[in-house]
């Protein structure tokens, strides 16, 4: 029997295989440039992003990603909503509030799956639980959500609520206000940042985490894009999140290596004495056993949306299910 038919069949099989491979990767063979706006200056919360950049995970997805901090980080949701930035890092409460104003942003991944916001008091004050704050001064940065957070904590611990404390607007000078005894405690402080800064300066603290005192558990940091990008560039989002997921999986396994990369990429912007212990505190939050990193829980979005509405911060027409999607993690 002639070998020609067999040879022709082998060549045809190779041709079909090449078409399959080309169809799988050819759609993004051309490099795609993306801009990601950070929520603040580079810090331990961002380790997975910088690891994905340094280790070439974005590049392996044919993505050229620019990570940057806006001059005014409070504009991230607006610039993402308008398409000026492709992605941004924000906060679950802010995403919901922005959507109430018609900003078309959608969370596509949770980067920090629990609140970092907390109430912090010096150990020397004797304040160890919310009801110990009755009759005390509490400093805050005048962010609207901080008031109901504190009020809920107080009520959960048997106090009447905000009427039992004196709120003092200290801006973002939370740590100086506490050290100087201008206030007795602060709210709006991260237990992965301000607490470390205080301890490094010789002031041991007591931390009251908001979700342990009646506030619904929520996502501190989320990765957002706009609704039109979800419709027009789903392949890009899938590739981008695949690289981000790999970066945060690495950060969870070796957070100090992540800090090394952060320091290398940002130089003088990072306080190593804060970010190294901060990374150790964050690493357990990034570890997921049963679900892919970044997957978001519907019940958590709904419960926090209802809490915001009950506290008069969010219009009733805002639907939690419109504010996030799991479609790029294999979910709905």
Tell me the C-alpha to C-alpha distance, in Å, between residue 24 and each of 20, 28, 107, 145, 245. Answer: 6, 9, 26, 45, 20
Please provide the distance, in angstroms rounded to a whole number, between the alpha carbons at the two ends of the chain: 55
Domain final residue, candidates 155, 180, 213? 213
CB 130 within 8 A of CB 159: yes
Residues forming beta bridges with residue 36, ordered by sequence position = 67, 87
**Residue 178 belongs to domain spanning:** 117-213
Q: Are residues 45 and 66 in the same domain?
A: yes
Asked whether residue 317 is domain-assigned, the answer is: yes
Asked whether residue 10 is domain-assigned, the answer is: no
Domain final residue, candidates 168, 190, 213? 213
Q: Are residues 274 and 324 in the same domain?
A: yes
CATH of the domain at 257: 3.40.190.10
pTM recorded for the entire structure = 0.89
Q: Are residues 155 and 90 in the same domain?
A: no
Q: Are residues 223 and 323 in the same domain?
A: yes
Asked whether residue 9 is domain-assigned, the answer is: no
Q: Are residues 265 and 137 in the same domain?
A: no
Asked whether residue 11 is domain-assigned, the answer is: no
Q: What is the dihedral of CA 197, 143, 269, 178, to 10 degrees?
A: -20
What DSSP designation does 61 have? T
Q: Per-residue pLDDT for the chain (332 aa), expressed as one digit of tens each?
A: 444 344 444 334 433 343 333 344 444 457 999 999 999 999 999 999 999 999 999 999 999 999 999 999 999 999 999 999 999 999 999 999 999 999 999 999 999 999 999 999 999 999 999 999 999 999 999 999 999 999 999 999 999 999 999 999 999 999 999 999 999 999 999 999 999 999 999 999 999 999 999 999 999 999 999 999 999 999 999 999 999 999 999 999 999 999 999 999 887 678 999 999 999 999 999 998 788 999 999 999 999 999 999 999 999 999 999 999 999 986 54
Helix, strand, or coil (residue 34)? strand
Asked whether residue 8 is domain-assigned, the answer is: no
CA atoms within 13 A on the CB side of 12: 6
Domain final residue, candidates 160, 179, 213? 213
Domain count along the chain: 2
pLDDT at 93: 97
């Amino acid at each position: 029997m002639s070998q020609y038919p067999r040879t022709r069949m082998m060549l045809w099989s190779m041709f079909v295989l090449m078409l399959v491979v080309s169809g799988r990767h050819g759609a993004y063979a051309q490099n795609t440039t993306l801009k990601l706006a950070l929520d603040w200056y580079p810090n331990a919360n961002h380790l997975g992003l910088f690891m994905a950049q340094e280790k070439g995970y974005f590049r392996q997805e044919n993505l050229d990603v620019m990570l940057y901090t806006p001059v005014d980080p409070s504009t991230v949701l607006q610039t993402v909503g308008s398409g000026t930035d492709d992605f941004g890092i924000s906060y679950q409460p802010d995403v919901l509030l922005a959507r109430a104003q018609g900003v078309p942003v959608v969370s596509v991944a949770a980067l920090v799956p629990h609140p970092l916001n907390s109430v912090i008091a010096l150990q020397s004050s004797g304040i160890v639980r919310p009801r110990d704050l009755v009759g005390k001064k509490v400093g805050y940065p005048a962010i609207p959500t901080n008031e109901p957070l504190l009020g809920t904590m107080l009520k959960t611990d048997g106090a009447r609520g905000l009427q039992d404390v004196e709120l003092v607007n200290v801006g973002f000078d939370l740590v100086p206000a506490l050290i100087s005894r201008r206030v007795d405690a602060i709210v709006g402080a991260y237990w992965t940042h301000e607490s470390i800064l205080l301890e490094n300066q010789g002031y041991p603290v007591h931390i009251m985490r908001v979700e342990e005192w009646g506030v619904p558990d929520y996502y501190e940091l989320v990765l957002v894009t706009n609704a039109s990008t979800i419709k027009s560039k789903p392949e890009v989002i899938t590739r981008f999140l695949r690289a981000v997921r790999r970066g945060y999986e690495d950060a969870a396994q070796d957070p100090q290596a992540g800090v090394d990369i952060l320091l290398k990429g940002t130089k003088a912007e990072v306080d190593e004495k804060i970010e190294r212990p901060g990374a150790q505190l964050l690493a357990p939050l990034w570890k997921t056993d049963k679900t892919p990193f970044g997957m978001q829980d519907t019940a958590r979005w709904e419960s926090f949306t209802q809490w915001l509405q009950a506290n008069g911060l969010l219009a009733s027409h805002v639907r939690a299910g419109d504010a996030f999607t799991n479609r790029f993690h294999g979910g709905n």
